[in-house]
Amino acid sequence: MTRHLQLTDNGRLKHFLTIEGLSQPLLTEILDTAASFADMSEHNVKKVPLLRGKTIINLFFENSTRTRTTFELAATRLSADVLNMNIATSATSKGESLLDTIRNLEAMHVDMFVVRHALSGAAHFIAQHTAPHISVINAGDGQHAHPTQAMLDMFTIRQHKKQFAGLKVAIVGDILHSRVARSQILALNTLGVDQIRVIAPKTLLPANVEDMGVIAFQDMAEGLSDVDVIIMLRLQKERMNSAFLPSESEYFRCFGLTEAKLKHAKSDVIVMHPGPINRGVEIASSVADGPQSVILQQVSNGIAVRMAIMSMTMHSAGDMA
């Protein structure tokens, strides 16, 4: 289902909805394209004309300042016109259906929707019902997927570790509720890392999590032993009730990343976090701000990676128009 919807007949990227079904060469092409944009922030003129004359709408039904801002910057640097829809005051809050909203926006001759929605599958639904020349990028849907975040994380890992083969990666925290973790696991497996570990209390691990191609741990010292990359996840408190955890302080004691726990990993380990960070809950400030943290680089890399995905999808969709 996802494969033919995301790709053109000749295998190019038309929409970017999920990592699932995408090939290693295509993910590598996204990373290589992002690398060509990565040094633009050093230039006096931070723009290229690739999407001049195109109109992109950020359609965010959920708040996310960092994701929306990096998409906006990415589109602006590609010379596109960008419109940020304020959903709280739009017609959808007055009872207009999602499909009616899309149809009305299509009538304004837009070229791309960047969609963030609380319901899993919302971006797929829009991609299935939108006009053939329009691309749809999933900026996070429910607990399902956040593929651009996963790709900027892959870009950051490749920057520091050069290749994926042989790497041991640990993802720590609220795996159960995390759309980011699902997308990261798919990307890491596709790109060929040696081992993916998930570390969390049993209440925050999906049932049959090993079927995702990971090894599950409930002990930080054991799970972090000899890993190259640590990805910390925030507790998604808005998606859980008190039954999941005894307390935040107890969670930090057992699963929070501290300098002491960091010593179980390799000496050149990098520490990542998709944000927003809960300091003193899943990560100590000394680690978040420490020499092994690449968290702010992830934010910077988000612009280049989203530029790559926007330019690749838009050109493919344009070929079909």
Short-list 23, 2, 30, 261, CA closest to 141: 2
* Whole-angstrom distance, CA of residue 159 vs CA of residue 165: 14
Q: CA–CA distance from 157 to each of 15, 36, 82, 101, 248 (Å)? A: 24, 16, 30, 38, 29
Q: Which one of the listed residues 67, 130, 148, 313 is annotated catalytic?
A: 67
Q: CA–CA distance from 118 to each of 61, 141, 142, 252 (Å)? A: 7, 6, 4, 27
Q: Is 168 an annotated catalytic residue?
A: no
Q: Which one of the listed residues 12, 66, 160, 315 is annotated catalytic?
A: 66
What pairs with residue 305 in β-bridges?
A: none
Q: Is 66 an annotated catalytic residue?
A: yes
Token look-up 């929707």 returns 113
Q: Which one of the listed residues 68, 77, 124, 146 is annotated catalytic?
A: 146
Q: Which one of the listed residues 15, 116, 197, 273 is annotated catalytic?
A: 116
Q: Are 18 and 2 in contact (CB under 8 A)?
A: yes
Q: Is 203 an annotated catalytic residue?
A: no
Q: Is 146 an annotated catalytic residue?
A: yes
Eight-state DSSP code of residue 162: S
Short-list 139, 93, 87, CA closest to 113: 139
Q: Is 67 an annotated catalytic residue?
A: yes
Residues marked active site are found at: 66-67, 94, 116, 146
